[in-house]
């Protein structure tokens, strides 16, 4: 029963698929998965990859996105998500959970956990959400050392190392472009341009940088919400929707809880809920039943065990 309890596609093949997608000319769309069940739905609907957001994960722990989560926590969470999907999984690794040697260790841990790639950012450690004001970034050479350390620790050459720069909102787009070029020279396979505002900003970045580029289409931030088709036409190679599924879920949860509190019943919410049959469909309950009957198809009658 291949692909039942875990994905049938190997980590190596997922990494190959991710690299191929980044050079395919078709934009790779990676919605954020807040749990493994969400990742299965992302695959079923037809997206090209899965993203694990540090901001969404920390929020799920009732913590702000200011670098409070650890490598061990993020790795365990990400591994659970990556193992259930045949899609490549890209992880938010913040600043690498420390200085360059920590970034190197982070790469090895995520490789072992079946992840397809990660991104490191050039903020100071501890960091904060990329769409908040008051960020501070390290000198370019410090981030270059982070990237080089990560690249040197990589054992699978297809594991994607993405470098994120937060410089655009601090020092301007031209400074961010110069940093992007330095990070690419240091070995980054993909550049994440955080908090660009308009289509013109994205076009300017694309025109100046040869390396594959990733766009962040997070809601309620500094970037206009640009369609995947338009980003593809501009020449971007990947786009993430990091906190979208969390926001959708929390909005519905809060609305439902308030109605139960006010009405004393969830009767009026049934039309807004995922039905049991649909949940079982995503979980592939029927295949588990087939698997179970295929294994336990013997009789113990008369056995001395």
**Known catalytic residues?**
51, 65, 92, 94, 119, 121, 129, 164, 194, 216
* Among 205, 187, 188, residue whose Cα is nearest residue 196: 205
d(CA 194, CA 221): 10
d(CA 56, CA 53): 5
Q: Cβ of 265: how many Cβ atoms within 10 Å?
A: 9
Q: 160-165 and 117-121 as β-strands: parallel, antiparallel, unpaired? A: parallel
d(CA 279, CA 237): 32
d(CA 92, CA 96): 9
- Whether omega for the bond prior to residue 126 falls within 30 degrees of 0, making it cis, is yes
């Amino acid at each position: 029963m291949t692909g039942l309890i875990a994905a049938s596609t190997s980590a190596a093949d997922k990494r190959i698929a991710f690299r191929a997608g980044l050079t395919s000319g078709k934009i790779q769309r990676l919605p954020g998965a807040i749990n493994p069940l969400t990742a299965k739905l992302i695959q079923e609907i037809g997206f090209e990859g899965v993203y694990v957001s540090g901001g969404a994960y920390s929020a799920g722990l009732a913590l702000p996105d200011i670098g409070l989560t650890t490598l061990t926590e993020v790795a365990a969470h990400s591994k659970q998500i990556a193992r259930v999907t045949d899609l490549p999984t890209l992880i938010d690794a913040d600043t690498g959970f420390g200085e360059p040697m920590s970034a190197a260790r982070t790469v090895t841990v995520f490789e072992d956990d079946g992840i397809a790639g990660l991104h490191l950012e050039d903020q100071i450690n501890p960091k904060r959400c990329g769409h908040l004001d008051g960020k501070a970034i390290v000198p370019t050479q410090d981030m270059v050392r982070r990237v080089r350390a990560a690249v040197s620790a990589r054992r699978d050459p297809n594991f994607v190392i993405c470098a994120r720069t937060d410089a655009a909102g601090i020092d301007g787009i031209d400074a961010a472009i110069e940093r992007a070029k330095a990070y690419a020279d240091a070995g980054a396979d993909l550049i994440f341009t955080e908090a660009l505002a308009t289509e013109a900003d994205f076009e300017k970045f694309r025109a100046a940088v040869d390396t594959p580029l990733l766009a962040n289409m997070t809601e309620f931030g500094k970037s206009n919400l640009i369609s995947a088709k338009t980003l593809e036409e501009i020449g971007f190679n990947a786009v993430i929707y990091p906190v979208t599924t969390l926001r959708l879920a929390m909005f519905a949860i809060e609305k439902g809880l308030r109605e139960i509190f006010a009405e004393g019943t969830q009767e009026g919410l049934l039309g807004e809920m995922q039905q049991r049959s649909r949940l079982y469909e995503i979980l592939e309950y029927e295949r588990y039943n087939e698997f179970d009957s295929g294994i336990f198809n013997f009789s113990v009658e008369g056995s001395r065990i």
